[in-house]
Structure 1
């Protein structure tokens, strides 16, 4: 008899705002795939086109109604997601070389004609941000945060992805690298681009703002782990999911691990809400700092809205592309006795 596992949904003590331009890039992103993602197999591209990835940018930045401001944000959503999908099991030394080149392009170096097309998307986004009036310190910020996504996130995951059997990190260790590999440090930078205001460096670097940005990543980690749990239960060696980690570390059932993961999630959401309500004095940028944290909250509820209401098939069986060092069919290995609804 199969045991039923009810995976919880994430809710927040703040509103979910609907984007007025939610589907505006659905057609345009097809051209990006066809022109600049040709290193991915035809079957992989076919899968990508069903995932509605550009809508993540619009759902998570729902107050923006300007197509030009949102376009580079949609580009970043695609290239950070597919970069992770494709290079996720790349050996660390090779990934470091790729990361260095990505950083150069994001800062200002144009890719060569013979280089991988994803670099062209990065260069186009950078040029669009500059045309839209974003300052150099913003370009440096998003470039560094993307670099750290690769170095402190993707590279730290490699030992856990290369094993043939599950090897679990402890929860504290998991959060240290997963908050980077989920991509929310650079994605949080899209708040500035979508609102057309770059948070000044001294405010961005303030510990309270940094903690809010960290909470953005941690909350999206748990959201993502719940959303991908059904698929990851079928992957024999998969270990990087909070449900698996809690179950292993504390000897919980799957349902108990889900409940504990949601308890942690709700504590983080309350902390973010409390910080937003009690920001320190950021004069003369108090309104802008308050608005920035407000948009951090909208990114979180907007991402949940995308998972539950966009119609994406990203977390269905064979929803992902085959990584550079993967094999066709990777990820669908075993049947599991526990299912979700």
Structure 2
């Protein structure tokens, strides 16, 4: 009989803000699935619709009350998530070709009629961002970060996913690629269209600002690992979860690994809060830099709010789509002996 496991919830030393347009794209996203995600099976699309992935954009950008500015962000939240779900088992050489094409479309090329529909969503988002006044340097920024999400994140996970025997990375290695594969480097760029202000390049590239973005990625990676643990604990080949990594590297119980993962998470949250309140001198851009990191913090608490309060079915049994190189039997069985408690 499995020992009962208490999985902690994530909390933050800053407030959670609720979006005034939290559910605004619930109907639109169904049309997006039906029109542009037909490379996914009908069953896969059926699984996607109750996940409310568009709400991630609104929950994580809760100060934005503009449907027009948030629409391309909602598109991206869906296509970045389903890109990972669908191409997460794709061989690295094939994935590199896909990454190059994604970059071309995000930067300005229109997809051909015979190309996969997810590219149409990327092109539509790019055109909407430009129509809403986002500069080309920002388009290049998010395009590069999406490319790195694929090549430094998804591609680095593939050897572990394809290994015949379960193989765990060391914690340092895991965090080095997980901060890319969680997708928050490009998603963090959505702060700019959400608040209708593109952070200047020299401010954005400052090491402190980049560390804040890295902390965003690490915090949401641990959030995600806690939430997905209930599903992943029953997958025989699953190794890419910080709980599993800690348990293997330090010979911990599941409960001890949860405690250590939360300690790491809380240290990162404290660091982000400290950096926000002690930013370097950015001169005339001081207020903009402070506001940018403030919204990074809202991304973190907003994502937790979505996990716990949006009603998403994403982490239920048979909620994920089957990957391009996956099979139906990859689905997990969620045991009744696991439960979530604050």
Range class of TM-score, shorter chain: over 0.9
- TM-score normalised over the length of structure 2: 0.98
- 1:154-303 correspondence to structure 2 within 5 Å: 154-303=154-303
- 1:1-341 correspondence to structure 2 within 5 Å: 1-332=1-332, 339-341=338-340
Deviation per residue, 1:179-238 (Å, 9 max, x gap): 000000000000001001000000000000000000000000000000000000110000
Structure-2 separation of matches of 1:155 and 1:7: 29
Structure-1 separation of matches of 2:35 and 2:104: 22
SS in 1 for 2:279: coil
Structure-2 separation of matches of 1:163 and 1:19: 42
Relative to structure 1, is the Cα distance of residues 338 and 173 closer, same or farther in structure 2, using a 3 angstrom cutoff?
A: farther
Structure-2 separation of matches of 1:327 and 1:61: 35
Deviation per residue, 1:101-132 (Å, 9 max, x gap): 00000000000011000000000000000000
Structure-2 separation of matches of 1:298 and 1:323: 31
SS in 2 for 1:239: coil
Do the aligned partners of 1:103 and 1:147 also contact (CA within 8 Å) in 2? yes
The answer for unaligned runs of 5 or more in structure 1 is: none
SS in 2 for 1:340: strand
Structure-1 separation of matches of 2:14 and 2:68: 28
Task: Tell me the C-alpha RMSD between the 2 structures.
Answer: 1.1
Aligned length: 340
Deviation per residue, 1:3-62 (Å, 9 max, x gap): 110000000000000000000000000000000000000000000001000000000000
Structure-2 separation of matches of 1:109 and 1:100: 12
Structure-2 separation of matches of 1:69 and 1:241: 34
Do the aligned partners of 1:165 and 1:236 also contact (CA within 8 Å) in 2? no
Structure-2 separation of matches of 1:29 and 1:51: 11
Give 1:337 shift.
Answer: 9.0
SS in 2 for 1:6: strand
Do the aligned partners of 1:88 and 1:154 also contact (CA within 8 Å) in 2? yes
Do the aligned partners of 1:19 and 1:61 also contact (CA within 8 Å) in 2? yes
Deviation per residue, 1:80-116 (Å, 9 max, x gap): 0000000000000100000000000000000001100
Structure-2 separation of matches of 1:281 and 1:134: 25
- TM-score normalised over the length of structure 1: 0.98
Structure-1 separation of matches of 2:25 and 2:305: 18
Do the aligned partners of 1:103 and 1:143 also contact (CA within 8 Å) in 2? yes
